[in-house]
């Protein structure tokens, strides 16, 4: 178990996770397929109907993994690290270690997903055509063909965070050679589309418009619009933040104050120290020697009832596995590294000694200060 969810395996070296919200949508989709098979009046046991529904739902989510793998394979072709693929309530998402450096890379990575879904739609359509009188196979393949076709079209909508938004950014980026401005355009397009989906979903729910699913379908459409709106705003905020950090070094964003704790103290005592100082990361020392790093997230790895009998040393990231930064390293380079390895804190070392630490809070303080002075 990790913050991304439950890891179920690796494909092409990329860990695949199931977010807890995935189980809800998996059950709902399986139920919809059970209803679809039941409408065929095949006169088969309920247990077999549910088996078919669960299998079809699993194939649907396998299609989502295939879609995300298409993005990931192209990203790795361009030497862009792929951190993970996570399935959640809205589908799937690939987490990459850094942004593409050229418009062509962005375009090829983005378009690979819809093309893969169209490929699957064509394959399932051929199976459905060849199914003949086999109603179960015809329904299963036909449903998956339509779903993958719809997934491809939906993802081609030109707005962040959809693939179409990344394609739009790549096209604009190719013309104006301005990554930040292109991101703003794609993010604003995503916000306009999201507001439209929310409004359409609300009207569908209130007026019980059945072609779009009535109240349930309308609420779901509005919910998806809200998710797109949030992601689009986040994308715009991220590019603004990266612009504010352009040209800065690690020394400019680190906190020189070093907060330390002894490796022998209990997690209960560490929790009190964290609450007292408001710091979410501490260097762990033995005497005057650095031995590791402990964070607030480490507390979640141990049941709270065991905090009083578990030491910080048991959950800390040891010095041998500790990633670190140099004061002269570009701030944006460090952020990309931290995103790739999934860390929110990193010590800064110069001449063999720890001279500071970069945390989420220290970065936010720099961004806030630059915003206040208009930079």
Share of the chain above pLDDT 70, in %: 95
Same domain, 129 and 266: no
Give the mean pLDDT of the chain.
85
Check whether residue 175 and residue 29 sit in a common domain.
yes
Q: Does residue 194 sit in the same domain as residue 318?
A: no
User: Mean pLDDT across the stretch 95-124?
Assistant: 92
Q: Does residue 276 share a domain with residue 179? A: no
Whether 157 and 46 share a structural domain: yes
Instruction: Give tens-digit pLDDT for 116-133.
Output: 999 999 999 999 999 888
Kindly state whether residues 239 and 309 are assigned to the same domain: no
Same domain, 190 and 321: no
- The CATH number of whichever domain residue 294 belongs to comes to 3.10.580.10
On whether both 77 and 216 belong to a single domain, the answer is yes
pLDDT band per the 50, 70, 90 thresholds, residue 373: low
The 3-state secondary structure of the chain, one letter per residue? CECCEEEEEEECCEEEEECHHHHHHHHHHHHHHHHHHHCCCCCCCHHHHHHHHHHHHHHHHHHHHHHHHHHHHHHHHCCCCEEEEEEECCEEEEEECCCCCCHHHHHHHHHHHHHHHHHHHHHHHHHHHHCCCCHHHHHHHHHHHHHHHHHHHHHCCCCCCCHHHHHHHHHHHHHHCCHHHHHHHHHHHHHHHHHHHHHHHHHHHHHCCHHHCHHHHHHHHHHHHHHHHHHHHHHHHHHHHHHHHCCCEHHHHCECCCCEEECCCEHHHHHHHHHHHCCCEEEEEECCEEEEEEEHHHHCCCCHHHHHHCEHHHHCEEHHHCCCECCCCEHHHHHHHHHHHCCCEEEEEECCEEEEEEEHHHHHHHHHHHHHCCC
Classify residue 1: in a domain, yes or no. no
Domain final position from 194, 225, 245: 245
How confident is the model over 15-71, as pLDDT tens digits?
A: 899 888 888 888 888 888 888 788 777 777 888 888 888 998 899 999 999 999 999
Q: Say if 214 falls within a structural domain.
A: yes
Shared-domain flag, residues 176 and 229: yes
Are 265 and 194 found together in one domain? no
Band of pLDDT at residue 375, cut at 50, 70 and 90: low
Residue 83 — very low, low, confident or very high, per pLDDT cuts 50/70/90? confident
pLDDT tens track for 202-252: 888 887 766 666 677 788 888 888 888 888 888 778 777 777 778 889 988
Asked if residue 365 belongs to a domain, the reply is yes
Domain range enclosing 258: 250-372
Residues designated catalytic: 68
The number of folded domains in the chain is 2
Q: Are residues 145 and 80 in the same domain?
A: yes
Query: Is 70 exceeded by the pLDDT of residue 346?
Result: yes
241 & 336 share domain? no
């Amino acid at each position: 178990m990790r913050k991304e969810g439950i890891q179920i395996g690796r494909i092409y070296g990329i860990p695949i996770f199931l977010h807890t919200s995935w189980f809800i949508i998996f059950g709902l989709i399986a139920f919809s397929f059970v209803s679809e098979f039941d409408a065929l009046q095949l006169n088969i046991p309920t247990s077999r109907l549910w088996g078919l529904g669960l299998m079809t739902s699993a194939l649907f989510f396998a299609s989502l993994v295939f879609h995300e793998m298409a993005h990931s394979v192209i990203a790795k072709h361009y030497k862009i690290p792929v951190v993970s693929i996570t399935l959640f309530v809205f589908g799937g998402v690939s987490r990459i270690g850094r942004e593409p450096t050229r418009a062509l890379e962005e375009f090829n990575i983005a378009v690979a997903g819809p093309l893969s879904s169209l490929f699957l739609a064509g394959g399932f359509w051929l199976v459905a055509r060849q199914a003949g009188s086999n109603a179960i196979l015809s329904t299963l393949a036909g449903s998956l063909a339509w779903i993958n076709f719809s997934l491809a079209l939906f993802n081609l909508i030109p707005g962040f965070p959809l693939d179409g938004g990344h394609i739009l950014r790549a096209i604009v980026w190719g013309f104006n050679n301005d990554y930040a401005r292109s991101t703003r355009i794609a993010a604003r397009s995503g916000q306009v589309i999201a507001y439209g989906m929310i409004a359409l979903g609300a009207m569908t729910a209130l007026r019980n418009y059945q072609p779009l699913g009535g109240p349930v379908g309308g609420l779901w459409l509005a919910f998806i619009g809200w998710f797109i709106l949030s992601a689009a705003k986040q994308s715009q905020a991220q590019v603004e933040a990266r612009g504010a950090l352009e040209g800065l070094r690690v020394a400019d964003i680190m906190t020189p104050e070093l907060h330390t704790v002894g490796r022998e103290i209990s997690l209960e005592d560490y929790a009190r120290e964290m609450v007292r100082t408001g710091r979410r990361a501490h260097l762990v020392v033995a005497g005057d020697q650095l031995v590791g790093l402990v964070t607030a997230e480490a507390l979640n790895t141990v049941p709270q009832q065991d905090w009083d009998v578990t030491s910080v040393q048991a959950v800390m990231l040891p010095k041998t596995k500790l990633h670190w930064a140099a004061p002269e390293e570009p701030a944006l380079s460090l952020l990309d590294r931290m995103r790739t390895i999934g860390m929110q804190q990193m010590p800064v070392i110069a001449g063999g000694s720890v001279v500071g630490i970069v945390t989420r809070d220290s970065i936010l303080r720099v961004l806030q200060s630059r915003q206040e002075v208009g930079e």
